[in-house]
Chains A and B, each alone.
Chain A
Amino acid sequence: EADIYQTPRYLVIGTGKKITLECSQTMGHDKMYWYQQDPGMELHLIHYSYGVNSTEKGDLSSESTVSRIRTEHFPLTLESARPSHTSQYLCASSDPQGVEKLFFGSGTQLSVL
């Protein structure tokens, strides 16, 4: 099965802190994604990447930023966290060889106090 890892699994921080959510995959996938999800609700795409040095914003406006310096690594950063950022953040990657099957990490549950 997929090897895509997210850390931390849970994060509770105060307002105004800078945070970085880590995502790494060992499958060599070029395409990676960040989704935001409130509990039990639909997933919203906030960032995606075609490959190294390629990043795009998704459908849902987000104050976060991403970088893609290495194929396997796609971190997401919030410069100044606010309570409205409280949510689950899910990282995914897909095999570009025609199928585009999505594989997800375990997610980071972020709570901003």
Chain B
Amino acid sequence: GIQVEQSPPDLILQEGANSTLRCNFSDSVNNLQWFHQNPWGQLINLFYIPSGTKQNGRLSATTVATERYSLLYISSSQTTDSGVYFCAGRETGGFKTIFGAGTRLFVKA
């Protein structure tokens, strides 16, 4: 079936620490995207990353499509990084974007 699985489900960091979030996806999913949902509920598209590596400031993402996983790296974390991080993929040959259950991140000052 169509699956997008994220780990860990919850993460607490001290400000300044680095972290890696993981997303595993099934064969029927492609076109990986990473989103950040802030505490006010706004969802921001961080990366569209079907394969390869991209970087944006302190954030970077890598997708290894042949092994069906993607990683989101957060370096030098800040309190404003807190929120929920979702990965999502589009069903192959289809229309819908399927979301994982999210990683809830809290960065302590």
Interfacial residues, chain A to chain B (CB-CB below 8 A): 2, 31, 33, 35, 40-43, 45, 48, 50, 58-59, 88, 90, 92, 94, 99-104, 106-107, 109
Contacts and interface: CB of A to CB of B under 8 A. Distances in A.
A106 B97 CA distance: 18
A101 B95 contact: no
B21 to A, nearest CB: 15
Please classify how large the interface on chain B is, using the bins under 10, 10 to 19, 20 to 34, 35 or more: 20 to 34
Given A48-B95, A100-B90, A101-B33, A42 B41 contact: no
Contacts, number: 54
B44 to A, nearest CB: 8
Interface string B23-38: 0000000010101000
Interface of B: 31, 33, 35, 40-45, 48, 84, 86, 88, 90, 95-97, 99-102, 104
Contacts of A103: 45
Q: Is the interface of B mostly helix, strand, loop or mixed?
A: strand
Contact of A102 (B40, B41, B88, B102): B88
A100 B31 CA distance: 8
B99 A42 contact: yes
Nearest to A45: B96
A41 B95 contact: no
A42 B84 CA distance: 10
8 contacts: A41-B102, A48-B96, A59-B96, A101-B45, A106-B42, A107-B41, A107-B42, A107-B43
Given A40-B84, A43-B86, A50-B95, 9 more contacts: A2-B45, A31-B95, A33-B97, A43-B99, A45-B97, A100-B90, A104-B42, A104-B43, A107-B41
